[in-house]
Structure 1
């Protein structure tokens, strides 16, 4: 396998300046070229904060309201949220351990399995990063507009510009900001929870669905929670690629897992509890809940900052995805482009039924990820067996033919279609299962079952 590593010729856009130590806020020009071991620094503890802060957004809160809106009681909806979040976070935590071993981002590493066909998941990842910009920017832009007395579109535009600037600064700036915002946003969301309790606006829903319908809604709620946590999987090693090779993979795994699970569970629980307040106009709900004035302004500022933290990571990983597909533009420029592209999608979601469009984008943006995860994990495990315990050396890894991965990827998505449940399409098997969306699980299993036997019996292709 060959990844760009030289700062000359056609790969110059992929190389460039790297952060040198914690607190180095200068622009990171480094693109998809692996980070050499001489430039690695930091410890696994920073993975907790980088995966905790970006999930404390109103997107997570609004997603938490879905279980109650679909008719579940509080306890059942909470169980679905916790189960789905844990299942979705495990692949993200595992893939994140690859960064320190290789110095490479997640989509560049997918070239190991997909070869030249990495353009397929690369394009999907780039589009997904734009979609997530919109899903999160919807609430952040609304909060900023309400805070400053601006029209909605201007709040979104300023939000996108700010997050794009942070994505341009890159890896270290994102890590440092997330460390600070972990404490700030945790306090802000704790204040929201306190106000819900103090005002009595929160409550434990009793549920309105029963029997098979209740089971179907439970699965759908869990799948939506899973989609949030799993959406970080194609980004995972992007934010660990500067860690030293000797960093403990076990500690990396647990720091990432806890960061994702604790944060997502907390905000979705808040959404379940305050479902009556956190409707389509979530930012307005925050302002109202805090009583307006200075407390309301601080709440809106926290919502905007939360969106900034999360979307900066979308733009950063989007820039690496765009380079992975072969677009030779500098990483900072690619990050700015991702932020700009999310703007019209936010306006589209805001223009009509926000709840329906939000759920549709949320589910569709992630249906490709389980198949991708299964393929890259199978390939990674096969290569580890072939190396017989030797450290990973990307330059020495033999390339693979593209067709097994592409075939498994396409077949896994096709197998999942009948199990999908969105506002735009409900598969026949999802309908028969009373709305239970099993598409994520089916896609993962199908990809593993199709790709695994092919990958394990074929010899590496040399040259």
Structure 2
């Protein structure tokens, strides 16, 4: 891809290779500050997905009526579909040198991009809160105290990690991958020696389309939900790195890690029956043993949630910074401002976690399916624009100018997004709302498929009918 050879000059506030505390936020990362390898992208997303929440997500496929055999296959299909979507977003990071959501200004306008970003912030909040609940339970058990104390201690730790930023997050990713591999090898080994998994795969094998599609939706939604911030963690990679290699490193790490975790959840739910709901963490740890082993497994669960919650918090900060910068035309935020925003984000998530920790599993199931109605249309519009309309030829300076190339509001993008959310409603099945066509489809929720296809096609033809200004090549700050 052709690029402008000019780069932003380094200033005294720029991040050098020796610093661990990140100083940049939503501003462009100059080539001289690029660093990292594809292996770090793989370990970051692999380690992030080796965690208790993905185990619980996989368990839902069985808890809600599926059998072991077809649930495993459905979840795998969902990883492929959803992982492809999220990895296509990740490949944008090294090319643009920007966090994910600020590029939405190309499709929605400088002010219009606030619409999907606000919704994304709400969804981050939900993910952070549910993650804090499970981490609080694990930390409480490890410290022999209440889950409430565990939630508070865990939240304080997340604040400290997130303030350090990009480099520390990737270091944690490598460490989490190592600990996660050890823990999951032990858990799977325990399962093999304690239970007849082959018999479990054969027992009660029954294919029903609604349950199979539910498993696909659980896997796909898990992956698609990373879309709005996945490029935040690839934007420091050198732009010369192949987009295909970035795609494979991120998508492979995320899909493999989550499939390992969700498969364990499927087996655990099938073995535990009614004992699993409400005791997810203790049951998983109980599979491995007691004493020092149990303490190690609790530590593994906590570390996995540190990764996931840190990503959510970091992504929330980037999104809030993007919202504020759209109106204030400010690209940099002081360390004090960064600290305040992060404390507020984690504080609100912790408050939600403390309030709703009793009914976690039911709320999480509804949340992860309902959020698809808001994630998928944005994802479809962003990907179609980047890969088929502009083909990556963005004017990065104009992203901060409401009077520039992208304007304040992009009616085509906003209208398509609204339609994309609306057309899913008849096919959506959650405890919040069930569409009128769900029953006719045998209770099957296919809203995420509609949410990807309809707005993607609509936006492509809208740009053909009302063409927008597209530069000849990617225009970098100078």
TM-score (norm 1): 0.89
2:232 aligned with 1:238: yes
Indicate the residue corresponding to 1:363 in structure 2: 369
Does the C-alpha gap of structure 1 residues 460 and 309 become closer, same or farther in structure 2, counting only changes over 3 Å? Answer: same
Q: Counterparts of 1:386 and 1:250 in 2: how far apart (Å)?
A: 14
Counterpart for residue 20 of structure 1: 16
Higher mean C-alpha displacement, 355-364 vs 99-108: 355-364
1:223 matched to 2:225? The reply is: no
Q: Determine whether 1:163 maps to 2:158.
A: yes
3-state SS of the aligned residue for 1:326? helix
Q: 8 Å contact 2:67–2:206 — kept in the other structure?
A: no
Work out the number of aligned pairs and report it.
Answer: 443
- Structure 2 vs 1, CA of residues 19 and 306 (structure 1 numbering), >3 Å: closer, same or farther? farther
In 1, Cα distance between the equivalents of 2:164 and 2:428? Answer: 38
Contact residue 419 and residue 439 of structure 1 kept, 8 A:
yes
Task: Tell me: CA distance 1:368–1:209, structure 2 relative to 1, closer, same or farther (3 Å).
Answer: farther
Is 1:75 paired with 2:69?
yes
Partner of residue 353, structure 2: 346
Contact persistence 1:131–1:342 (CA under 8 A): yes
Q: Do the aligned residues in 2 keep the contact of 1:68 with 1:205 (CA within 8 Å)?
A: no
Are 2:116 and 2:378, in contact at CA under 8 Å, matched by a contact in 1? Answer: yes
Q: Distance in 1 between matches of 2:385 and 2:97?
A: 18
- Per the TM alignment, residue 331 of structure 1 is displaced from its structure 2 partner at its CA by 3.4
Q: 1:85 aligns with which of 58, 73, 79?
A: 79
Distance 1:225 1:17, change over 3 A: farther
The Cα of 1:209 is off from its aligned counterpart by 8.8
Label 1:117 to 1:245 Cα distance change in 2 as closer, same or farther (>3 A). Answer: same
Report the 3-state secondary structure (helix = DSSP H, G, I; strand = E; otherwise coil) of the residue aligned with 2:456.
Answer: helix
Aligned CA distance change for structure 1 residues 290 and 413 (closer, same or farther; 3 Å): same
Q: Retained in 2: the 8 A contact 1:67–1:77?
A: yes
CA RMSD of the aligned region, Å? 2.5
Q: CA deviation at 1:208?
A: 6.0
SS in 1 for 2:312: helix
Matched residues in 2 for 1:442 and 1:386: separation?
25
Provide structure 2 residue ranges, at least 5 long, that are not aligned to the other structure: 1-6, 400-404, 472-478
Q: Shift of the alpha carbon at 1:20?
A: 2.9
In 2, distance between residues paired with 1:366 and 1:18? 37
The 8 Å contact of residues 57 and 136 in structure 1, kept in 2 or not, is answered as no
Aligned counterpart for 2:434 among listed residues 404, 426, 430: 426
Equivalent-residue separation in structure 1 for 2:406 and 2:82 (angstroms): 29
Aligned to 1:108: 102
Q: Is the 8 A contact 1:235 1:317 kept in 2?
A: yes
Partner SS state of residue 200, structure 2: coil
What is the alpha-carbon distance in structure 1 between the residues aligned to residue 396 and residue 205 of structure 2?
Answer: 52
Where do residues 258-269 of structure 1 align in structure 2 (5 Å cutoff)?
258-269=252-263
Q: How does 1:19-418 map to 2 (within 5 A)?
A: 19-21=15-17, 24-25=19-20, 27-115=21-109, 116-200=111-195, 204=200, 214-275=208-269, 276-277=271-272, 278-326=276-324, 330-352=337-359, 354-384=360-390, 387=393, 392-395=394-397, 398-399=405-406, 401-418=409-426
CA spacing shift, 1:79–1:220, aligned 2, 3 Å: same
List gaps (5 residues or longer) in structure 1: 8-14
